[in-house]
Amino acid sequence: MDTWIEETLPMVFLAVLDGTVTAFVLALIALGLSLVFGVMRIVNVSHGEFFMLGAVFSWFAYHWTADSVWGFVLALLIAPVIVGFIAVFSERFILRKVEYNPESTIVATIGILYIIQQLTLMGFGPEARPVEAPIYFRVSFPWFGYSGYKLLVAVMSGLCLCGIWLLLKRTKLGLYMRATQQDYEIATTFGVPTKKIYASVFALGGGLAALAGVLVVPIRQADHLMGLEPLLLSFIVVIIGGLGSIRGTIIAAFLIGISDGIISVFYEPTLAKMLATLFVVMILIIKPSGLFGENYQ
Amino acid sequence: MMSKKKDENVDQQSELNLTRRSVLGASAAIAGAGIIGSQLIDPVAKTAYAAGSDEPIRIGFQAHRTGIGALYGRWYERTTNAAAKYINSIGGIAGRPIEIITEDDGTDPKRGADVVEKLATKHNVDFVYGTLFSHVVMGSAPRAGELKIPYFVVSEGYHVASGALNRYVFQPCITDVRSQITAVSNWIFGNLGKNVALIYPDYAFGYDHRDYASAAAAKSGAKITAKIAIPPTASSFTRYFVKIPKNTDVIYHVMVGPGVLTFVREMGEHYGTRHPKLFGFIDSLEGVNINSPGLEFLDGSHFWEAMPRYADGYATSGSNFYRDKVGVDNTGASKSDSKDVSAYSHMFGCWETLFAIKEAVEQSGYKSKKDYKTLIETFEGFAGFNEGIAHPQGSKVFSGKTHQCYGQQFVSQVKNGKFNVVHRTSIADGMYEPETDYTKKSL
């Protein structure tokens, strides 16, 4: 019993705590991907790069404000907007040109991924660059300490998720988005500006990823390759939760985040990734639409 | 032979304590193991060779311009260009100018093999050189063997000396991980503690650390309390620290990749002020300013360095000359941008390898590709290289059997926002019995 309290309990506690923080951030990133799929029916492979751009802009803002915390505030306000514009630009001049054809958009967004990544490498450089957290404090638990800022990131991600939910359920834009998601043609007939909605959704997806990038950059660093891991995890989350289902995305993010924490702590992190991937395969075989997804043909 | 200089404080202004005699002493072990008639070489001293043709010696540089190795690649490229420029200014190689042809391998093994092929066939280079990341070396070396072109790597991996590659592959001027660990492990166990938790990346380079640190611990009565492999894609590390047992005296950490600042900060958050001692490999912090926010936790901790980043750590005339030529200031950053920190414990290998190639070409009378056999045999006959402008990191003992060199290592402590050298090993500290003999393999 003593060894359980001394050794196992702190590990369980940490696994759940760390997993929850991961889950909140993951939900925020995956939500953008899920929205884009749900409304536009396209798979955006460059989604991770929007996350990376958020982090990189955050570094620039931090740098321009002479390494002050105002840089973080500036980035929080500006980065999602800039990335949103980049998303609108690529939607207007690339995705619209290929008429949102599923195969073509995959190839096109892979192209966008490489363009963004290589431009960042040229302009920002290959190294990882740190950004200081706006608020820094250590939360002491009986067995170990934990980053206070990380807990703050979880809270802020949670607030953003609530904001998106309100946007979708309580605003006209949200209504249009849901209408477009349900039936593009009927929505168009009823006067929903579907083309503008597509652009807005793509911008919102990119902006959310960028916002997550800004929030996360003080707990890791900005580097030009950081978009890959969240992209893969987002795909896992979105497939498990059900493509296009907001509720599914959030539940799956918690499922993946917390199980990743527990398996990593008690076994191996590689095993956690393997099991997550296996879970995706099982879902695709047993319930291809995901846990909460609609049936798409 | 394996004399130890424990607790030796390095006289930081000392000039070249490694004499020709001590290198010869170390090389005697190898000579005893079968290499006879080998020579020690001091290339810059003898620049008076017969004028050669105007046809350049073409060296294909396999560079990590993009991918995870891009930071190292940038500095490898700067060092290579600086060395080539200097070699040309002193008369080139055997009177022929040196020409560097650079190709990006994307730090990718598959592309690495393609680059070797492109350099050898399309660019028609004399030699291929410069690769760092071990998986790229592993991917590219077989192609170099098939094309029968000498392939000089600057990689640190144990793969060359292990015998896993072929007779065309050499690592003449940077020591391998096994040797580095062998050299500094006694210092770690003797000065920091005997209960050691290992944290290393979850791939071949990390396994070398795990295996040879465990072997060294077993030999000196130290105990490994935990072996924690971290996937290279990890971006959060908190969950790993909880696995470190309470009785751990020392955390031995080697991390490569962009996660290192997070790694350190999270370790600080986890432990607070009471924590085990830390010993790290500088690979984690190459290109990273030690005064970056979040690295405060490393204050007082120790690091292995191959070549001290701060100029006062090893201020010999050769190393000062080299530092100036590659454009690095006294703190290890670019002279033109103090935020651009170098990969100082690795990039010297590029400078030195080009001089080793120069020496092999001149000694063997290499003229064209048909002379590869003589060149390789000449190289295998080398016993080492003397410290100086050509080998600023220090003298090297070279083993023709393993195609791998041995050299001195440094232990530095982080204090007052800089690295301070506290111990320098002898070459002999890092030597081990050869496990292969490339000279017996066919060409």
Considering only CB atoms, which chain B residues are within 8 Å of A125?
71
For residue A174, is pLDDT > 80?
Answer: yes
Give one word for B321, left, alpha or beta, with left for phi > 0 and alpha for psi -120 to 50: alpha
- Cα–Cα distances (Å) from A192 to A144, A179, B278, in that order, read 54, 8, 62
Question: If you count residue pairs, one on A and one on B, with CB atoms under 8 Å apart, how many are there?
Answer: 89
Cβ atoms of B383 and B30 closer than 8 Å: yes
Give me the residue spans of the domains in chain B. Answer: 20-175+344-407, 178-305
Q: What is the pLDDT of residues B413-437, one digit of tens each?
A: 999 999 999 999 999 999 999 999 9
Beta strands in B275-388 (DSSP E): 277-281, 302-305, 333-334, 337-341, 382-385
The two tokens of residue B317 are: 């005339």
Lowest-pLDDT range, A96-110, A188-202, A203-217, B26-40? B26-40
Q: Does B287 contact A127 at a Cβ distance shorter than 8 Å?
A: yes
Considering only CB atoms, which chain B residues are within 8 Å of A140?
272
For residue A25, is pLDDT > 60?
Answer: yes
For residue A90, is pLDDT > 50?
Answer: yes
Lowest-pLDDT range, A32-46, A265-279, B28-42, B333-347? B28-42
Give the domain A2-286 fold: ABC transporter involved in vitamin B12 uptake, BtuC (1.10.3470)
Taking the C-alpha atoms of residue A37 and residue A39, their distance in angstroms, rounded to an integer, is 6
First to last CA, chain B: 33
Lowest-pLDDT range, A70-79, A247-256, A267-276, B64-73? A267-276
Residue in A24, A225, A229, A274 to test binding to B, most B beta-carbons within 10 Å: A225
Q: Does B242 contact A121 at a Cβ distance shorter than 8 Å?
A: no
For residue A213, is pLDDT > 50?
Answer: yes
- B20-175+344-407 carries CATH number 3.90.1150.10: no
Question: What mean pLDDT is reported for chain A?
Answer: 90
With cut-offs at 50, 70 and 90, classify the pLDDT of residue B205.
Answer: confident
Is A265 within 8 Å of chain B by CB?
Answer: yes
More confident residue, B116 or A279: B116
Is A183 within 8 Å of chain B by CB?
Answer: no
Amino acid at B343: A
Lowest-pLDDT range, A78-92, B10-24, B179-193, B322-336? B10-24
Considering only CB atoms, which chain A residues are within 8 Å of B229?
268
Q: What one-character-per-residue DSSP string does B147-206 give?
A: HT--EE-----TTTTTT-S-TTEEB-SS--HHHHHHHHHHHHHHHT-SEEEEEEESSHHH
Q: Does A127 contact B260 at a Cβ distance shorter than 8 Å?
A: no
With cut-offs at 50, 70 and 90, classify the pLDDT of residue B32.
Answer: very low
With cut-offs at 50, 70 and 90, classify the pLDDT of residue A205.
Answer: very high
Class of the domain covering B178-305: alpha beta
Which ipTM score applies to this complex? Answer: 0.75
Interface residues from chain B to A (CB-CB < 8 Å): 66-68, 70-71, 73-74, 202, 229-231, 233-236, 238-239, 241-243, 258-262, 265-266, 269-272, 287-288, 292-294
User: By C-alpha distance, which of B197, B202, B270 is closest to B238?
Assistant: B270
Question: Residues B372-400: what's their mean pLDDT?
Answer: 97
Taking the C-alpha atoms of residue B301 and residue B287, their distance in angstroms, rounded to an integer, is 18
Q: Which residue of A has its CA nearest to B339?
A: A129
For residue B1, is pLDDT > 80?
Answer: no
Taking the C-alpha atoms of residue B306 and residue B117, their distance in angstroms, rounded to an integer, is 31
Quick one: what percent of chain A has pLDDT higher than 90? Answer: 56
User: By C-alpha distance, which of B187, B185, B193, B179 is closest to B219?
Assistant: B185
Is A172 within 8 Å of chain B by CB?
Answer: no
Q: Give the pLDDT of residue B52.
A: 54
Q: Give the pLDDT of residue A270.
A: 79
For residue B38, is pLDDT > 60?
Answer: no
Quick one: what percent of chain B has pLDDT higher than 70? Answer: 87
User: By C-alpha distance, which of A156, A219, A154 is closest to A19?
Assistant: A154
Q: For residue A169, count CB atoms less than 10 angstroms from its CB and return exposed for 0-12, middle for 13-18, buried for 19 or more.
A: exposed
Considering only CB atoms, which chain B residues are within 8 Å of A229?
233, 235
Q: What is the pLDDT of residues A110-143, one digit of tens each?
A: 999 999 999 998 898 877 788 888 888 889 888 8
With cut-offs at 50, 70 and 90, classify the pLDDT of residue B44.
Answer: low
Is A200 within 8 Å of chain B by CB?
Answer: no
Considering only CB atoms, which chain A residues are within 8 Å of B106?
none
Question: What mean pLDDT is reported for chain B?
Answer: 88
For residue B371, is pLDDT > 50?
Answer: yes
Is A122 within 8 Å of chain B by CB?
Answer: no
Classify strands B195-201 and B396-399 as parallel, antiparallel or unpaired.
unpaired
**Same fold: B20-175+344-407 with B178-305:** yes
For residue A104, is pLDDT > 50?
Answer: yes
Taking the C-alpha atoms of residue B198 and residue B213, their distance in angstroms, rounded to an integer, is 8
Beta strands in A92-249 (DSSP E): 138-140, 145-147
Of B239, B292, B293, the CB nearest to A261: B239
Of B231, B258, B266, the CB nearest to A147: B266
Of B231, B258, B269, the CB nearest to A269: B231
Torsion angle of the four alpha carbons B358, B363, B367, B373, in this order, in degrees rounded to the nearest 10: -100
For residue B292, is pLDDT > 90?
Answer: no
DSSP state of A266: H
Which residues are CB-neighbours of B121 under 8 A, at least 6 positions away? B147
Q: What is the pLDDT of residues B78-87, one digit of tens each?
A: 999 999 999 9
Q: Which residue of B has its CA nearest to A233?
A: B233
Q: What is the pLDDT of residues B12-24, one digit of tens each?
A: 333 334 444 444 4
For residue A2, is pLDDT > 50?
Answer: yes
Distance from CA of B357 to the nearest CA of A (A): 29
User: By C-alpha distance, which of A20, A18, A138 is closest to B268?
Assistant: A138
